[in-house]
Amino acid sequence: MPTRNLNILVIGPDKERRQEIVAELLHHRVAAPIELEAYSQIRNLAAGAKDWNVALLDLDSDPDLCLAVVQTLSSRNPMGTVMVYAKHRDPELLMRCMRAGAREYLTLPIDHRLLQEALSRAAARRTESAGLENTGKILVFLGSKGGVGVSTIATNFAVVLNQEGASAFLLDLNLELGETSLLLGVNPQFTLADVLENARRLDRELLEGMITRHDSGLALIPGPDAVGAVQAFENGDLSRLLGLLQDQFSFIVVDAGHGLLRNGQAFLDMADTVYVVTQADVPALRNAQRYVKHLQRVAGAKVRLVLNRYDVRKPEIDEDHIAKAVGAPVDWRLPSDYQLVRRSHNTAAPLALADSPISLVIRNMAREVCGKPLQPAPKRRLRFLG
């Protein structure tokens, strides 16, 4: 398998070792590899960048950080081949590397033949994957704490996005008792629990049979409806599921609930945008600040701050203070309307399908991702007294 056209990254803080790898690679007549001297430089690669085929990482300089980067790279570009190089073959580290998504573990000094074989396998994977590019965008909704309105916003956002002409999919990633089926009034035959149970043999056809459809046409996988139905899942399972959904839908809207790391890193690495949903109270804002900072550090996704139940006319904390406290500007604000939201939940009628100040914001959030002009707020009628 020709290895000439592989685009290769070499990532490692130890210059001498990096140069040894580059020199070895050049013996194999590959194009000049790109060198990154700090693990953190992968941040400069665009999220979802698939313009590299092989990434070689120095495991010894900082094994934990290296493993985190291996995981990020392999989730962002599942068809790329991630390899690590190390002085010794440590069975425990080898296991962790493989779990994080590395496909090859090379020891120094590099053996010519083994490197050639590893490059040939990478070239074969690249050929196999040609034409299988995932295109759907992953939009994650994450609560700064419980009960801030993630499910309400994500569910309605997905309904409207689908209605705006973009094929949308709603994935409820709440591992315990997801609520999207209740909010939409659907009676699913399969939930996330069934999908994850079959994750290893999941393909397009099997997934299609497990999808639930709402009257509005929105396709979804609701969260489990039994306690303890999903204990945990592996990052690889979620990447596979998201990859299959990306092949079929333009947008995958994820209700991630609250608690970021419970769901693993994969969906964040694959995400295009993460909407951090918060309310304007001190604990929620404190958490939002922590999440925004974390996301800006580890995820390549855009981060958007959504303020729910916010009264712009009588704010308890004004927007400038919120932006300063969270460390990011407020992108969207939804007013509080307890009656409307409660009625929508109790009747399972998505509130975004009728006119209201909340639905206008949700519609505009959806229009923004479709690249459509935002709709203005209706003019308030002037009332003349007397």
Ligand X SMILES: Nc1ncnc2c1ncn2[C@@H]1O[C@H](COP(=O)(O)OP(=O)(O)OP(=O)(O)O)[C@@H](O)[C@H]1O
Is 105 or 291 the residue whose CB approaches ligand X more closely? 291
Render the burial of 120-151: b for 16+ CB within 10 Å, e for the rest.
Answer: ebbbebbeebeeeebebbbbbbbbbbeebbbb
Query: What gap in Å lies between CA 78 and CA 75, rounded to an integer?
Result: 5
Q: Which range, of 109-117, 227-235, 340-348, 370-378, touches ligand X by CB under 6 A?
A: 340-348
Give the tokens for residue 3: 């290895």
Span between the terminal Cα atoms of the chain, in Å = 86
101 binds ligand X (CB under 6 A): no
x-marked contacts with ligand X along 275-314 as a string, rule CB under 6 A: ---------------------------------xx-----
Greatest extent of the chain over all pairs of C-alpha atoms, in Å: 93
Is 308:258 a contact under the CB 8 Å cutoff? Answer: no
Q: Closer CB to ligand X, residue 102 or residue 280?
A: 280
Q: CB-based burial of residue 349 (10 Å sphere; 0-12 exposed, 13-18 middle, 19+ buried)?
A: middle
Position 308 contacts Mg ion (CB under 5 A): no
4 near ligand X, judged by CB under 6 A = no
Give the separation between CA 154 and CA 308, rounded to whole angstroms.
12
Taking CB within 5 to 8 Å according to partner kind, which of ligand X, Mg ion, none is near residue 109? none
Query: Is the Cβ of residue 81 or residue 151 nearer to Mg ion in the bound state?
Result: 151
Q: Which span sits near ligand X by CB under 6 A: 150-158, 215-223, 228-236, 242-250?
A: 150-158
Residue 228 beta carbon to ligand X: minimum distance, rounded to whole angstroms: 17
Compute the least distance from the CB of residue 153 to Mg ion, in Å: 10
Indicate whether 27 belongs to the interface with ligand X (CB under 6 A): no
3-state secondary structure of 308: coil
Render 192-258 in DSSP notation, one character per residue: HHHHHHTGGG--HHHHHHH-EE-TTS-EEEPPPSSTTS-----HHHHHHHHHHHHHH-SEEEEEEEE
Cis check: omega of the bond before 109, within 30 degrees of 0: yes
Residue 283 burial class via C-beta count within 10 angstroms: exposed 0-12, middle 13-18, buried 19 and up: exposed
Does 149 bind ligand X (CB under 6 A)? Our answer is yes
Task: Report if residue 334 touches ligand X, rule: CB under 6 A.
Answer: yes
Question: Which is nearer to Mg ion, 74 or 151 (by Cβ)?
Answer: 151
Is residue 84 within 8 Å of residue 105, measured between CB atoms?
yes
Q: Token pair for residue 19?
A: 């140069």
Applying CB under 6 A, the site for ligand X has a residue count of 21
Query: Is 331 or 337 the residue whose CB approaches ligand X more closely?
Result: 337
180 binds Mg ion (CB under 5 A): no
Least distance to Mg ion from the beta carbon of 224, Å?
Answer: 13
Q: How many CA atoms lie within 13 A of 302 on its CB side?
A: 11
Tokens of 353: 């399908």
Using CB under 6 A as the binding rule, whether residue 184 contacts ligand X is answered as no
152 binds ligand X (CB under 6 A): yes
Q: Which of 25, 193, 306, 358 binds ligand X (CB under 6 A)?
A: 358
DSSP assignment of 101-143 equals T--EEEESSPPHHHHHHHHHHHHHHHHHHTT----PEEEEEEE
In terms of CB distance, is 39 or 267 closer to ligand X?
267
Q: How far apart are CA 333 and CA 98, in angstroms?
A: 42
Of 177 and 353, nearer to Mg ion (C-beta) is: 177
Are the CB atoms for 93 and 59 separated by under 8 Å? yes
> Using the rule CB under 5 A, is 279 a contact of Mg ion?
no
Contact status: 222 vs ligand X (CB under 6 A) = no
Binding mask 129-168 for Mg ion (x = CB under 5 A): ----------------------x-----------------
Distances (CA, A) of 143 to 14, 31, 149, 242, 305: 39, 44, 7, 20, 10
- The residue from 64, 187, 338, 385 that contacts ligand X (CB under 6 A) is 338
Q: How far is the CB of 26 from ligand X (least distance, A)?
A: 53
Nearer to ligand X, 121 or 345 (CB): 345
Q: Which one, 12 or 149, has the nearer CB to Mg ion?
A: 149
What residues line the site for ligand X (CB under 6 A)?
143, 146-152, 179, 257-258, 308-309, 334, 336-338, 341-342, 345, 358
What residues line the site for Mg ion (CB under 5 A)?
151
